[in-house]
Amino acid sequence: MKKLSLLFITLSMMALFSCSSVKISNPYSSISASSNSNNSSSTSEVSESEDNTLNSSEISSNDMLSTNNSSTLLDQVEENGVIYKLAYGEVTVAGHTDDMGSSIVILSKVTINGQKYSVLKINDNAFAKCESLESVTIQDGLRTIGNHAFDGCVSLKNVTFPYTIQSFYTSAFANCTALESINLPTRIKSIGWSSFEGCRSLKSIIIPRSVTEMGPQVFQSCSSLTIYCQAEIKPESWTNRSWDGSRPVYWGIKDEDVIMTQDAIYYLVTKDEAIVTGRSLELRENVTIPSEVTLEGKHYSVTKIIDKSFYYCNFITNITLPNGLLSIGEKAFGECYGLKYIVIPSSVSFISVDAFFLCSKLVVYCEAESQPEGWDSDWGDYKSIYWKGQWSYVNGIPSPNN
């Protein structure tokens, strides 16, 4: 009986252990069901280039799985303070070390477990709030910059992009308050919601004609910015939801055009003329727009002021316009609440709607005898408008005749 009892106990314990299992948690359980179902039904053939580099888009998750898959699901390597992570065949920039320097290079390829991989993406929040980061150079091959990737990098001044980048996601460079200028990748297609919001030092940016998607509030609170677009008009696929952040926009910039700044006023110099396109925050009370600017020894007449060039410049009290000026754009001086007076030269043949929108203190003195045909009927609805013969200069200041 004792032998039978021992045999029964032994058999019971063997059955119990044969039914037990150990659950290994998958750190990638958040991957979508559709992605998993697609991968589970296909087995990709790994392609290898001459330099033995694997493109992560050519490898399915099944190719990364093996009998000891728990050790190959996730691997990473650190290069000069930048952390690159391999997960399910995709290498991305995952983050940084605490001792990362102020200047970094995002590599195009890294070696993990003896194999080279192309680096295709900078992950969400990878460098967010890296307050000491000043310069970023991204090598060829990267395609995507993730949500908030550089959000809050308040010392970031220089970013060099490769032509391969196609997308900026939400707030990719938001609140980079030291960033003054940026050259976008020439083939970029999509700029996400609030990508540059809060970049208050950003003065100019050129949007390539390759951009087919523009999110809302991309340039919100970029108070020094003028936007230059290679497209002649706003593409229909761009959002209408304040993508420009109420900043001045110049359409149809050409490769040979030059952007320059003089006395805190921005100009676009073409082969024929100079166009006022905006201003920096250094602009103060008394403003004079010259009749011409000089670039490389050549003089260019100032002929136009584009839409919103001086929009919401509360600190301007008076502005002198040049003889030879031809046109003033929509809301060019809109909401300049401190503007007290302005003289419009007789050369001005066009003024757009709301050119002086909500300039509540403004008195307008016109050199023309009456409103020219080219001025919009709603260019300025003011009680204080004086035409030629109704005003004169007194000690250099325009004043109504008694």
- The mean pLDDT value for 386-396 works out to 94
- The mean pLDDT value for 156-175 works out to 97
| % of the chain exceeding 90 in pLDDT | 72
pLDDT for the residue numbered 284: 81
**Domain residue spans in the chain?**
47-121, 124-253, 255-402
Sequential DSSP letters for 232-275: SS--TTS--SSTTTT--EEE---TT-EEEEETTEEEEE-SS-EE
**Number of C-beta neighbours around residue 289 at 10 A:** 20
pLDDT for the residue numbered 20: 36
pLDDT for the residue numbered 41: 36
pLDDT for the residue numbered 74: 59
Give me 45's structure tokens: 């053939």
Strand partners, 115: 112
Pairing of strands 226-229, 204-207: parallel
Q: What is the pTM of this model?
A: 0.80
Of 22-26, 73-77, 373-377, where does mean pLDDT reach its minimum? 22-26
pLDDT for the residue numbered 76: 93
pLDDT tier for residue 383 given thresholds of 50, 70 and 90:
low
Of 18-27, 48-57, 94-103, 271-280, where does mean pLDDT reach its minimum? 18-27
pLDDT in tens, 317-328: 999 999 999 999
pLDDT for the residue numbered 264: 94
Closest CA to 357 of 325, 386, 379, 374: 379
First to last CA, the chain: 131
Range 124-253: architecture per CATH: Alpha-Beta Horseshoe (3.80)
Contacts of 48 (CB under 8 A, 6+ apart): 54
Is 103's pLDDT higher than 50? yes
Is 131's pLDDT higher than 50? yes
Contacts of 171 (CB under 8 A, 6+ apart): 147, 148, 151, 192, 193, 194, 195, 197
Average pLDDT in the chain: 84
- The mean pLDDT value for 298-307 works out to 98
Structural contact between residues 122 and 145, judged by C-beta atoms closer than 8 angstroms: yes
pLDDT in tens, 24-75: 233 333 333 333 333 333 333 333 333 444 444 443 333 333 333 333 445 9
pLDDT in tens, 333-372: 999 999 999 999 999 999 999 999 999 889 999 999 999 9
pLDDT for the residue numbered 242: 86
66 burial via Cβ count (<10 Å: 0-12, 13-18, 19+)? exposed
- The mean pLDDT value for 78-98 works out to 94
| % of the chain exceeding 70 in pLDDT | 81
Sequential DSSP letters for 265-320: EEEEE-SS-EEEEEE-TT--SEEE--SEEEETTEEEEEEEE-TTTTTT-TT--EEE
Range 255-402: architecture per CATH: Alpha-Beta Horseshoe (3.80)
pLDDT for the residue numbered 360: 87
pLDDT in tens, 199-228: 999 999 999 999 999 999 999 999 999 999
pLDDT for the residue numbered 195: 97
Apex 250 CA angle, 360 and 199, nearest 5: 75
- Identical fold, 124-253 and 255-402: yes
pLDDT in tens, 181-207: 999 999 999 999 999 999 999 999 999
pLDDT for the residue numbered 323: 96
